[in-house]
C-alpha cells in the first residue's frame, strides 16, 4: 500500500478512536470500526489484530460490542472457517439503532431510579418538621428530574419519527443516503 494511503488510514483510525472514547465507548471500538470501514474487503479478527496492534481478546470483545450496536456485520466467506466483518455505512441507521435501544433502556432506568426515590420519600413517616421540609424539597427536585427525563425521551422519540421520514422529504436536513 502506498505510504500516504497508509497514513490516511492511520489518521482516520486514530481520529475514530478518540471520538469513540469521547462518546463513552472504548478507543479500541473506534479503531476497529475505522479499520473495517476503510477496508474494501471483509476483515477477520486476525487481520484486525495485525492492523490495530491490540490483543485478540480485546479485538474480539470490541467487535462483539460493535456488532450489538449495528456498526459492523458478520460476513460468511465461502471456504473460510474464520468470521469476517464488514462495516455498516448508513450512519443514520446506526444512530437510530443506538438511540432506540441503548438510550431507551437508559431513559427507562433513569426514570425508574427517580420513581423509586419518590416512592421512598412518600413512605417516610412520621417526620419531624425539619424532615417534612426536606421531604417536600426532595419531591420537588425529583419531580423536576423526572420531568426532564420524560421530556428528553419525548424529544428523542420525535427525532426518531423525523428520521423515519428521511427517505422522503427529510433528505435536505439529513443529507443523501449513504453508499454501501
In the complex, which residues of this chain contact a copy of itself (CB under 8 A)? Answer: 1-5, 7-9, 11-12, 14-16, 18-19, 21-25, 37-38, 40, 89, 91-92, 95, 106, 109-110, 113-114, 116-118, 120-121, 123-124, 127-128, 131, 133-135, 137-138, 140-142, 144-145, 147-148, 150-152, 154-155, 158, 173-176, 178-179
Residue 118: CB minimum distance to a copy of itself, A: 8
Q: Tell me if 35 sits within 8 A of 68, measured CB to CB.
A: no
CB of 131 to a copy of itself, least distance (A): 5
Output the CA torsion sign for 69, 171, 13, 50: positive
Least Cβ distance, residue 77 to a copy of itself (angstroms): 19
In degrees and rounded to multiples of 5, residue 49 shows phi and psi of -55, -45
Name, in order, each residue with C-beta under 8 angstroms of 58's C-beta and a sequence gap of 6 or more: 28
Nearer to a copy of itself by Cβ, of 56 and 109: the residue is: 109
- Kindly state the smallest distance separating residue 117's Cβ from a copy of itself, in Å: 4
Measured from the CB of residue 45, what is the shortest distance to a copy of itself in angstroms?
A: 21
Cα dihedral 85→90→94→99 (10° resolution): 180
Q: Which is nearer to a copy of itself, 56 or 127 (CB)?
A: 127
| Of residues 170, 150, 148, 149, the one with CA closest to residue 160 | 170
Contact, 72 vs 86, CB < 8 A?
Answer: yes
Minimum CB distance to a copy of itself smaller for 77 or for 158: 158
* Cell numbers for 65: 460490542
**Looking at beta carbons only, is 56 or 75 nearer to a copy of itself?**
75
Amino acid at each position: 500500500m502506498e505510504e500516504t494511503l497508509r497514513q490516511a488510514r492511520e489518521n482516520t483510525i486514530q481520529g475514530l478512536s478518540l471520538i469513540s472514547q469521547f462518546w463513552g465507548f472504548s478507543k479500541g471500538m473506534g479503531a476497529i470500526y475505522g479499520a473495517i470501514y476503510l477496508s474494501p474487503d471483509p476483515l477477520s479478527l486476525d487481520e484486525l489484530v495485525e492492523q490495530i496492534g491490540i490483543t485478540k481478546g480485546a479485538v474480539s470483545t470490541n467487535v462483539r460490542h460493535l456488532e450489538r450496536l449495528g456498526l459492523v456485520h458478520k460476513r460468511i466467506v465461502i471456504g473460510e472457517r474464520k468470521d469476517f466483518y464488514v462495516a455498516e455505512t448508513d450512519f443514520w441507521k446506526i444512530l437510530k439503532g443506538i438511540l432506540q435501544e441503548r438510550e431507551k433502556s437508559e431513559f427507562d432506568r433513569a426514570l425508574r431510579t427517580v420513581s423509586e426515590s419518590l416512592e421512598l420519600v412518600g413512605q417516610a413517616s412520621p417526620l419531624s418538621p425539619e424532615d417534612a421540609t426536606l421531604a417536600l424539597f426532595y419531591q420537588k427536585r425529583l419531580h423536576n428530574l423526572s420531568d426532564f427525563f420524560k421530556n428528553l425521551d419525548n424529544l428523542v422519540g420525535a427525532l426518531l419519527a423525523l428520521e423515519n421520514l428521511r427517505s422522503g422529504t427529510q433528505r435536505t436536513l439529513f443529507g443523501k443516503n449513504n453508499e454501501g
